[in-house]
Structure 1
Amino acid sequence: MTTTAAAPVIAARPAHRDPQVLRWLGAFTASTLGDSVYYLALSWAAVSSGTPAQAGLVMTVSAVPRALLMLFGGVVADRLGPRRVVIGSDTVRCLVALGLAATLFLASPGLWILAAVALVFGAVDALFLPAVGALPPRIAPRDQLARVQGMRGIAYRMGSVLGAPLGGLAVAVGGSATAFTVAGVLFALSLPLLCALKLHALPSEGAEADGTALRDLTDGLRYLRGHRVLGHMMIVVLLSDLGFVGPLNVGLAVLAEQRGWGASGIGWVLFGFGTGAGAASLLLTVWGRVPRAGAVSGWTMVLGAVSIGALAYVPLLPVAVGVALSIGLLAGLSGALCNALVQTECDPAYLGRVSAVSSLCSLGLAPLSFPVTGAAIGLWGPGPVFAVSAAVCALSGVYALLVPALRKAELPGA
């Protein structure tokens, strides 16, 4: 039940020199850029077509199908194979974005069409995210998965950092229609790279495709619960994200207002965080393997929690940027190590479903803390709320260190 299936032995080659990995990385970068441009274009179009409240509703519509369908998205990834699912997802996103761009060029539709597009993207995300999580073991050997996660982190940060100004430039030049066109083209760029991938056949792949979708899902959850490492890892992921996303997404704006940093201050703090996270990804890409990965992940979560708590008590913006950089460095390293451990510990036949549970914890359940964090800050101020959030983050690290199987978890030798 808890046996880890090993990938076939192939010629040793560093991930950053592997054409397969580089094709995947290019496709992932293009897709991430497209995602960033799409969300900026959707936000601008929604604000331009309705009230701020209506725009907020449009932006949150995609969260519903993503949360409801994520687990079944993992079943689909395991049944059909992750590459097919990722190609199909980016194809749908490309066609929908270009279709919306054409509609906006020709007419001025109401908010309903924006909400419909957001709904489609949410459903596609429920398929895309588990499949993306299941792809790396099929394109790289197990001893390179830490490097692959580092490279994925760099690509994600590049997409986030470059996507927003690219989308803003597209909106400035030609409005939302142009920005949606750019997003569609970026999604299209990922397709030939994905189609060129040659995936390694993994042991027991496709062994669970005979039952119903619900039975496959139940079997995957049973496998996850019984695994000596993975079940505990999902608890760590949920706790760390619950304590992390509220302060960084809601509390930071309150801090900037109270300290007089302004909107530019928020940007600088986020820049510090992004720089730290990018540095962590780069370090992991260079190192290739971190000894005692489970223990290192736990300790970085604990230390990152200290930085999160300290952020609420820093009066000067330059110091806050430095604290945010340390948060990004520690959180980025622990997150990449968790992802690499999940992929090396998991039986390939269940990887899509396990990735779906991990994505649901971080992207589906953790954002539910946003309104709670906002209400709590309104009642007690940012200091106590940041302290409680930091305690939750620290609890995730302590849990990882107290569970022997997690603490002793190792990545394969590079």
Structure 2
Amino acid sequence: MDQSKPTLFKNRAFVFLFFASLLAIVGFSMFFMTTTWFVISDLGSAGSLGIILIAITVPRILMMAFGGVIADKFKKTTIMFSTSSIQGVLIVAVFLLSNADQLTFTYLLIIGFIFGTLDAFSGPAGSSLIPKLVDKSQIKQANAIIQGLGQIGFVIGPIIAGSVMEFGGVTTGYSVTALIVLGSAFFMFPPFFKEGPVENTVKQTPLKDLIEGFNYVRASRFLVTGILILITLNFFAFGSISIAIPILVETYGGSPINLSYIESALAIGMLVSTAIIGTVKIRRRGLTSMLGLIATLLVAFAFSQIPSLFILTGLAFMLGFSMTFVAIPFFTSAQEDTDPRIMGRVMSIVFLAMNGFDPLAYAGVTLLVARGIDIQLVILTFSLIGLFIAIITFWRGKTFRNYTSEYFQKDDRCM
């Protein structure tokens, strides 16, 4: 490692990015959870919930690739600061409407649509900013910290939202969410970073930029396979289990304390594996991601079969532990090996696979349960489909399975 580079937590820019990213994810998941509860408890319509969740998640997915184009054209810190600031203002508006007892389905639909669209621009910018802030030898550790704890943000966000709503109601939940999102904007204030110049100086239309990004990814078997793995992880395992956990707790006669135990075990599992990945060098990153995916889906399958809340708590730990080994090794290799000029567009596609499909799983599971389908059957179906995809990918994905980063091939201390 370049000794002129500070350690990560002595790197002020990285520390600010860490807090900004964590708060943004916590804020997004709190907004998602608070809105879900408001629609169910106050509007009393499962159908309306599905429409609002789609309004939040689908624009996020559709616009994320274009968000990568923007990330390559403008300074990434400016993009992240602007989107978080606008999102904070939107949630303040929701808080004021709720406080005045004027929050309606239409308002939530419009604000949710804008909120989700903005999130499509901040994610790729943050992902492609990491290589600009840290030394190449620190990229894996930086990803282990930001991406690993970012996944935990999706877990602790609903816990915070549920606790706040328990004692203060939906309106208070929106007020706390607004403060957290505005806090994310504060940490992304561009002068804190002194970001370097934009690498992409090629003058061409946004459409050509977008096509260039897709062609770059399509030409790489490693990237295509890794993206499929991330989609499978987040749709069929993490996303479906995350929204199913509170339903399972209720189904098995549990209480809020049981829910907190399971959510905490999931977060602890992520923390433990994040610490391991941040310190241990992994040579066979492709193989690690594949095996991690299969392990995660096997745990998801067990979730559908075991009616014990005590055992489910242990399974939640295993789920959090295994899924981190799927995402971070691939994510790091993609950052190390991608041309900096096109980094934003590639990271937007990777980020889409990593964070864009779990909210869709939330909406899908919610709609299926609302139609009377048993939650255990939903989880079983999701996990079996995911396992089928994972096994086929393992069998056919020789390039990905045998991948070793060129950077780590030069390091004899690698595993």
TM range (shorter): 0.7 to 0.9
Select 1:235's aligned residue among 211, 222, 228: 228
Equivalent residue letter for 1:407: Y
Counterpart of 1:353 in structure 2 is 345
Structure 1: 5+ residue stretches without partners: 1-7
Structure 2: 5+ residue stretches without partners: none
C-alpha distance after superposition, 1:1-22 (max 9, x if no partner): xxxxxxx978233323322211
1:225 paired with 2:218, answer yes
1:34 paired with 2:31, answer no
Once the two structures are overlaid, the 10-residue window that deviates more, 65-74 or 293-302, is 293-302
Counterpart CA distance in 2 for 1:177 and 1:293 is 45
- Give 1:43-54 correspondences, 5 Å limit: 43-53=36-46, 54=48
Counterpart CA distance in 2 for 1:379 and 1:97 is 31
Counterpart CA distance in 2 for 1:318 and 1:48 is 28
Q: How far has the Cα of 1:47 moved from its partner?
A: 3.6
- Give 1:153-168 correspondences, 5 Å limit: 153-157=147-151, 159-168=153-162
Once the two structures are overlaid, the 10-residue window that deviates more, 367-376 or 316-325, is 367-376
Select 1:84's aligned residue among 78, 89, 105: 78
Counterpart of 2:384 in structure 1 is 387
Equivalent residue letter for 1:297: S
Counterpart of 1:300 in structure 2 is 292
Q: TM-score, normalised by structure 2?
A: 0.83
Counterpart of 1:121 in structure 2 is 115
C-alpha distance after superposition, 1:116-153 (max 9, x if no partner): 11111011111112112212111111111111112114
Select 1:343's aligned residue among 332, 335, 341: 335
Equivalent residue letter for 2:97: T
Q: How far has the Cα of 1:342 moved from its partner?
A: 1.5
Equivalent residue letter for 2:107: I
- Give 1:252-271 correspondences, 5 Å limit: 267-271=260-264
Change in 2 beyond 3 A, CA 1:381/1:335 = same
Counterpart of 1:408 in structure 2 is 404
Change in 2 beyond 3 A, CA 1:39/1:384 = closer
Q: How far has the Cα of 1:290 moved from its partner?
A: 2.3
Is residue 280–residue 329 contact of structure 1 (8 Å, CA) maintained in 2?
Answer: yes
- Give 1:49-198 correspondences, 5 Å limit: 49-53=42-46, 54-157=48-151, 159-172=153-166, 174-194=168-188, 195=190, 196-198=192-194
Change in 2 beyond 3 A, CA 1:60/1:391 = same
Once the two structures are overlaid, the 10-residue window that deviates more, 92-101 or 40-49, is 40-49
Equivalent residue letter for 2:333: L
Once the two structures are overlaid, the 10-residue window that deviates more, 129-138 or 54-63, is 54-63
Equivalent residue letter for 2:264: F
Q: How far has the Cα of 1:332 moved from its partner?
A: 0.9
Give the superposed CA RMSD. 3.4
Q: TM-score, normalised by structure 1?
A: 0.83
Equivalent residue letter for 1:60: I
Counterpart CA distance in 2 for 1:94 and 1:27 is 13
| Count of paired positions | 402
Counterpart CA distance in 2 for 1:262 and 1:172 is 13
Equivalent residue letter for 2:399: V
Q: How far has the Cα of 1:393 moved from its partner?
A: 3.3
Q: How far has the Cα of 1:93 moved from its partner?
A: 0.8
Counterpart of 1:317 in structure 2 is 309
Counterpart CA distance in 2 for 1:273 and 1:182 is 23
